[in-house]
Amino acid sequence: MIHANCRARFTADDFEFIVRSLAHSPRDAVSLQRLLTDADARDEILEHDALASAILESADALRISPALYFYVLCRRVLKNTAVSSRDAADYIAAMLDAFTHTARVHRPHPTRETEMRYLSDILIALREATPSEAFVLRSHLANYALFLTGLFAEDIDKRARRGAPDLGFYEDLGRTSFRLAADHRDARRFELQRVYHELADGFREARVALNDLADRLLHLHAAPLPG
């Protein structure tokens, strides 16, 4: 399962980068002790414009974790949308981190050997899934729909002109899947209920924010959609 845990996975290099990036003026400087001991202060520091600028404008290879990279940028584009909680930004950042590994995208359930390259593959698997498997598959379906519409919107539009499902179809599928997953008993067990409801209600705004992230900030040149 993907969890909103990027802020719990920062490395020593991440903290060093944050302190160094904000040390250029006394007003912005932060101490390592504050970052390590005060969660509220850490969350505010992570939203500092100077930190995002340091990540985006670095001329050298960044020695920071994907968790820090994705969280800072996701929080930047999401905080003024309907998906405004830090946990939602953290969850989406964790999803992007996980989905940068192709195997994770196509293997939603650890007990299933078959790859699922298409949303239709997951929908078919749901027909014979146990309740626990259904929760994992439904969560993955929601995540995958957000990932595809967030990073591959142009590809989806091009395919839609040739008769393939359009963005509205993916949005409806993702929104519905997050809502169904939120209402599953396992969502409460994994403490995902609130985030899933937020993503269901704000799916389109989250998708548009990821479009912005891909186009303006990440400069992603990702592989085309499968098939």
Q: What is the pTM of this model?
A: 0.88
Is residue 227 over pLDDT 50?
A: no
Q: Residue 48 domain-assigned?
A: no
Give the CA diameter of the chain.
60
Q: Residue 53 domain-assigned?
A: no
Q: Residue 193 domain-assigned?
A: yes
Q: What is the pLDDT of residues 94-106, one digit of tens each?
A: 999 998 865 555 5
Instruction: Give the Cα-Cα-Cα angle 96, 101, 105 (nearest 5 degrees).
Output: 75
132 vs 108: which has the higher pLDDT: 132
Q: How far apart are CA 181 and CA 23, in angstroms?
A: 43
Q: Residue 113 domain-assigned?
A: yes
Q: Residue 140 domain-assigned?
A: yes
Is residue 58 over pLDDT 50?
A: yes
Q: What is the pLDDT of residues 10-19, one digit of tens each?
A: 999 999 899 8
pLDDT of residue 37: 83
Q: What is the pLDDT of residues 176-217, one digit of tens each?
A: 999 999 999 999 999 999 999 999 999 999 999 999 998 876
Q: Find the domain containing 144 and state its range.
A: 101-227
Q: Residue 141 domain-assigned?
A: yes
Is residue 5 over pLDDT 80?
A: yes
Q: Residue 76 domain-assigned?
A: no
Look over the chain and give the mean of its residue pLDDT values, rounded to a whole number: 87
pLDDT of residue 35: 81
Is residue 224 over pLDDT 50?
A: no
- Contact between residue 146 and residue 199 where contact means Cβ atoms under 8 Å apart: yes
Residue 33 three-state SS? helix
Nearest to 95 by CA among 132, 64, 70: 70
Number of domains in the chain: 1
pLDDT of residue 34: 78
Q: Residue 79 domain-assigned?
A: no
Q: How confident is the model at residue 62 (pLDDT cuts 50, 70, 90)?
A: confident
Nearest to 17 by CA among 30, 8, 7: 30
Is residue 125 over pLDDT 80?
A: yes
Q: Is the C-alpha dihedral spanning 197, 200, 206, 211 positive or negative?
A: positive
Which helix (H) or strand (E) segment holds residue 199: the answer is helix 193-201
pLDDT of residue 223: 46
pLDDT of residue 47: 94
